[in-house]
Every structure is written in structure tokens, then in C-alpha cells.
Amino acid sequence: MTSVGPESDDDQVDESEPVVCEGLNAEGTEVKPKLDFATVPGYSNVRLDQSLLPPPPIEFVPPKDSKQPDFMSAPVISEETARQALLEHVSQQCCWGKGAAEKLIFKGLQSSTSYHYVLETFTEERSTKWDFEPFHGQPVNGPQNGPAPGPWDIPASFSKYFVDETQHHEVPFTAYVEDCHKCNARGYVRCGKCLGRGKVRCGTCRGTGRRRVYRNGEQRIVSCSRCFGGKRRCPRCGGDGRITCPVCKSHCQLKWYIKLTINWKNNIGEHVVEKTELPDHLVSQAAGTLGFEDTQIRVMPISRFPVTEINAASGRLVASHQFPNRRIHMQHHIIRMVPVTQCFCQHKEKDVNYFVYGLESRVHAPEYPDQCCWGCTIL
């Protein structure tokens, strides 16, 4: 009596005989075809992987006079505004009680201004690689039509400044047609699941053609109803032993061409000056007063700001935004002034501090005492 294991829906390949298929050697490992690309002047080093192409140098003459900002102070809030902001913050938190916010005794408010400096540099990067598509009679713009233009000579435009965008272009006069290297121009390849046999081993009976069943409390061995003698038609190729070539999609030929990829990217550098314990990332996300804004092909570092740290950060970030492998189209930098008020309070003879920041009066209150209200039924 043959014992048959648990059923499985995974059909298995019969490995009784070694079969060598297209793309596989005798050991079953994939053999990648050697590709010989056409020689295109100016693109001799292009392969299947992308290669960056630095832009031609551009002479830039900085302006003689650079505009510097007029600075303003941030607004100061009252105790009433600070308490109302805390109450609204508490109402948005799960399981926070508002009793402490209503009974807080204010001991003092310390207002200050935080500064958020942002530099944006909008750049363009170009790279090339050989690519292909199935050839089905579409136009082929090859070398017979003229010499291929340089990668930075191909015109392309972006949609908007300071917005990331990617475009792909076929380099003119680089296309040619060649037989598919995957299927040798046959349009099909041998099925990798059944190795071209058209049948696979049944996963239900594990290729035995029999399975164990229980009827009326008795165990019996019966013929497998899902196969014929342990073999099933291959579900991938339908029993044909061949599948459509995944490379040429049965067209037998490929159109090869050099693909130009253009990436427009907005590179952002920022620096926050915050003297309190309020986390910097909260300052950068809050609304503030725009104290300075300038957009130029090349901006000049800010040098006359009353906070020395902002001047140093501007100089450091502007110097770091050089990008030798990209073309710089535009730069933009701003200074935002974000109001921050540290509230010193007392609740049940215990000191409690919290922050109200931003023009929208956001609250940061990690020390709030009633962060879990009594009688909460939310699990």
C-alpha cells in the first residue's frame, strides 16, 4: 500500500531526465546572452545600465549687489490665548482630560522667535542607457538619418520650477532593429515550469497517480482524480511546452535605441535656530512670518542677518549646493520667523511647562498631567 502525503496545489516538474532549454545550461542556471551594441559616435560607453553625463560648463557671474532682508519680530501671545490653545490641543488627544488645562496657574510666559532657513536648488540630471522594445513595424530613426545629437543638445522642458519630474526620450538617430536575443527570433521560448514537456508532476498525489481517502471510517487508496498517472497538463503553457517570448512578445525582433533619462530635482537644505527645548522639526512644520525671500539663478549667501547662526547656515548650504554632475536652473531661499511661547505653569503644586508655537498656535505639551483620563472606556 502506497502512502500519499498531504495534498498540494503546486505542480512539480518531473526531473527524471535533464533537459537543456533556451537560456539555461545543463546545470539549470541562466545563461545571459552576450549583446553587441551598435557604435554611435558620442555614445561609445553606453551600456544597459545608466551612466551619468555631466553638463557642459556654464560661466556664471554673480551680481554685484545682493538683496538682504528686512527683519521683523514675531507676535507675542497672551495667557488667555495660551490656555485656549492648550484646551484645543487636549480635545484632539485620545484619553486626555481637560481639567488640568482649565485649572493651570500661569507663572509666566517667555516669548521668543525661532528661525527656519530654507534653500532650494532646482537641478537637471541626464543619463543614458541602451534600451529596447518589441519591433512591430514602428518607425526606426537610425544613423542613416544623420549623426546623433549630444545628450545635452536634446531639447526638453520641465513643467514647473522646484517640482521633481522625470522624462524619458529616445536619442534621435540611434535606433536599429535586431533579432531577439532571448528566443533567437522564434517568438517563443521553452516553458520553464515543465521544461518543454507540456506536463508537470501532480501536486495532489505527488506524482503517484493515487491518493488516500477515508470513506465510512475506512481508509482506501484510489486513483487521483486530478491527474492521469501522476501527470497534469502544465498550467503555464497549457501543455504546449512553449510560452510567448517575454522579451519580444512574439514579434521576433527588437528595436534597440539609446534612452535618455532626464531627472529634474528640487534639492532642499534647511536649518532651524531654536533656543528652547522645542524640537526643531516642529518649528520647520509650523506656520511663520516670511521675513525674507529671494529667487535667482544663483543666490548669494545671507550675511547681514542679526542672528549669526543663520548667516553661517546660509553660507554653508549655498556652498554645498554645487552639484557638479547636474545643471542648476534656479535657486530660492527664504527665512521664516516662527513665534514660540514657553508657558511656565503650576498644577497641584507641581511645575508644568508647555509650548505654544507657530502662527496657528500649535501646542507641544509632553509634561501635561492628565494624559489618561479616569473612567475611560476606550481600549
DSSP character string of 269-315: EEEEE--SSS-HHHHHHS--EEEEEEEESSPPPP---SSHHHHHHHH
Q: Name beta bridge partners: 262.
A: 126, 167
379 pLDDT above the threshold of 50? no
Q: CA-CA distance, 65 to 285, in Å (whole number)?
A: 32
Q: CA-CA distance, 228 to 366, in Å (whole number)?
A: 70
Domain boundaries, the chain: 1-32+187-250, 79-120+266-364
Q: Which residue has the cell 525671500?
A: 293
228-247: average pLDDT:
93
pLDDT tens, position by position, 286-339: 999 998 999 999 999 999 898 999 999 999 999 999 999 999 999 999 999 999
131 pLDDT above the threshold of 60? yes
Reference 242, options 197, 201, 181; nearest CA is 197
SS3 175: coil
Task: Judge contact between 209 and 229, C-beta under 8 A.
Answer: yes
Residue 311 confidence (pLDDT): 95
For the chain, how big is the Rg over CA atoms in Å? 35
pLDDT tens, position by position, 258-284: 999 999 999 999 999 999 999 999 999
The H or E element containing residue 168 is strand 165-170
Show Cβ contacts of residue 348 under 8 Å, excluding neighbours closer than 6 positions.
369
Flag the least confident range among 139-143, 181-185, 372-376: 372-376
End-to-end CA distance of the chain: 57
What confidence tier does 52 reach under pLDDT thresholds 50, 70, 90?
confident
pLDDT tens, position by position, 191-228: 999 999 999 999 889 888 888 887 777 888 888 888 88
Q: CA-CA distance, 20 to 37, in Å (whole number)?
A: 27
Q: What is the pTM of this model?
A: 0.78
83 pLDDT above the threshold of 80? yes
Task: Judge contact between 328 and 297, C-beta under 8 A.
Answer: yes
Q: Which three cell numbers stand for residue 67?
A: 538683496
